[in-house]
Structure 1
């Protein structure tokens, strides 16, 4: 293995953050807001991404790629409104957004991010 591998936080099932070869890999982030609409859940999830990037010594400006899963593509416009606010002021990363069945019925959005390490 080349480079140092550092894992931060998480649980017995997965690490919250893995830093390797100059990249920060975050575990998928979901919102625990059971009654939150897509805008509330998206804000919550993007705030979690910000916090994890900060913990890893990175930031939103360093994002390389973001993958977004929506429980329902009808939420695409609402999530994009929050996304547009979140990436304003930075050069946005590459991104994909698809519909997927979620692990819990209240999850409306899940986000996975990869960023450059500082």
Structure 2
């Protein structure tokens, strides 16, 4: 059985859990929530890039993504513009996007991703 590796863990959650060569990145949102949907999406994806790197992988190895928008009618296009420029060429993950109530009023987007971790050895994490 593979080890379970947790990254950036606190009492409530881990930001990343790696198991059996798969990195599960928890829901990420922008830190500067005064930004519009494009700004919040850029910040969120930058955080995801950082956590993927800490897990020994990258957006080139994404398997799936879940995107939650506060206002899908008004923010879907802007979020997609940023998403489309961020995703790795020929490596788009499966994806679902939905509208939902957010945990904080000023959060416009939250994104969860799962990625393969190529050639990982648990001592490297």
* TM-score, shorter chain, exceeding 0.5: yes
Matched, 1:15 2:14: yes
* 4+ runs deviating over 6 angstroms: none
The Cα offsets for residues 47-95 of structure 1, whole Å up to 9 and x where unpaired, read as 0100000000000000000000000011000000000100152420000
Q: Distance in 2 between matches of 1:4 and 1:71?
A: 36
Q: Distance in 2 between matches of 1:19 and 1:10?
A: 12
| Cα 1:76/1:64, change in 2 over 3 Å | same
Structure 2 residues not aligned, in runs of 5+: 119-125
TM-score by length of 2: 0.90
8 Å CA contact 2:70, 2:99 repeated in 1: yes
Matched, 1:116 2:116: yes
TM-score by length of 1: 0.95
Match of 1:91 in 2: 91
* SS of 1:27 mapped into structure 2: strand
* SS of 1:78 mapped into structure 2: helix
Name the Cα RMSD after superposition.
1.0
8 Å CA contact 2:61, 2:91 repeated in 1: no
* SS of 2:2 mapped into structure 1: coil
Q: Distance in 1 between matches of 2:90 and 2:110?
A: 21
Structure 1 residues not aligned, in runs of 5+: none
